[in-house]
Amino acid sequence: KQEVTQIPAALSVPEGENLVLNCSFTDSAIYNLQWFRQDPGKGLTSLLLIQSSQREQTSGRLNASLDKSSGRSTLYIAASQPGDSATYLCALGNDMRFGAGTRLTVKP
Amino acid sequence: GAGVSQSPRYKVAKRGQDVALRCDPISGHVSLFWYQQALGQGPEFLTYFQNEAQLDKSGLPSDRFFAERPEGSVSTLKIQRTQQEDSAVYLCASSQYRGGETQYFGPGTRLLVL
């Protein structure tokens, strides 16, 4: 059974800092990996989708990498802003197995 | 364009009551997913439809949970004889063709069973 772990569970940084969120998984035979953000009381918004044949995807200040052999993905956020404050979740494969998320707070 | 919508947004039920949660996916989207999200946790997969066909219901926690999508568009998740452990946010998502693509999520229905 695929296990997905996100570390840290919570992170607080000052505005402007670059940061990395981690997602690890136990079964490297994945179809794809997605990163989402979730604002309080809201649904999930897809940020980046990495297919299993890809190693990274970029969108604006966000960069996600995928290393299947080590069972890891990272989400890099450059020049963080208070509006980036949310919970960030990774999800694996067709059946969308989610981690518990990292709650990010960016302080002005 | 319109995104995924869910209704009701909030539902309070007495233990033992039946509830029905509705999901309107993005028009034309083939795939529809239901998830259950407990407080402080990531969503957990419940079931998946491709058009009107329920291709995977392996995540439904018990036979009290039933989902349908009779015309391949709107879907209803029904929970019979609700119990306190059913309290959670129920999220619906749709994707254009099949699983493995970007999924678009609705705002969720927050269910509280007293």
- Measured distance between the N- and C-terminal CA atoms of chain B, rounded to whole angstroms: 37
Encode burial over A22-52: b for 16+ CB neighbours within 10 A, e otherwise.
ebbbeeeebebbbbbbbeeeebbebbbbbee
Q: How confident is the model at residue A94 (pLDDT cuts 50, 70, 90)?
A: low
Instruction: Give the containing element (helix H, strand E) for A75.
Output: strand A72-77
- Chain A closest-CA separation from residue B65 CA (Å): 18
Which residues does chain B have within 8 Å of residue A100's beta carbon, measured at their own beta carbons?
A: 40-42
Q: Does B66 touch chain A (CB under 8 A)?
A: no
Q: What is the mean pLDDT of residues A24-34?
A: 88
Which residues does chain A have within 8 Å of residue B4's beta carbon, measured at their own beta carbons?
A: 43
Distance between CA atoms of residues A14 and A79, nearest Å:
10
Distance between CA atoms of residues B102 and B31, nearest Å:
11
Distance between CA atoms of residues B15 and A53, nearest Å:
47
List, for residues B49-105, the tens digit of each pLDDT value.
999 999 999 999 999 999 999 999 999 999 999 999 999 999 999 999 876 678 899
Q: What is the mean pLDDT of residues B20-37?
A: 96
Residue in A with minimal Cα distance to B58: A95
- Chain B closest-CA separation from residue A89 CA (Å): 7
Q: What is the mean pLDDT of chain B?
A: 94
Among all chains, which residue has been given the structure tokens 């059946």?
Answer: A95
Tokens of B72: 């391949």
pLDDT at B1: 54
Amino acid letter for position A61: R
- Our separate counts of H helices and E strands in chain A read 0, 11
B89 Cβ neighbours under 8 A, 6+ residues apart: B36, B37, B108, B109, B110, B111
Q: Does B5 touch chain A (CB under 8 A)?
A: no
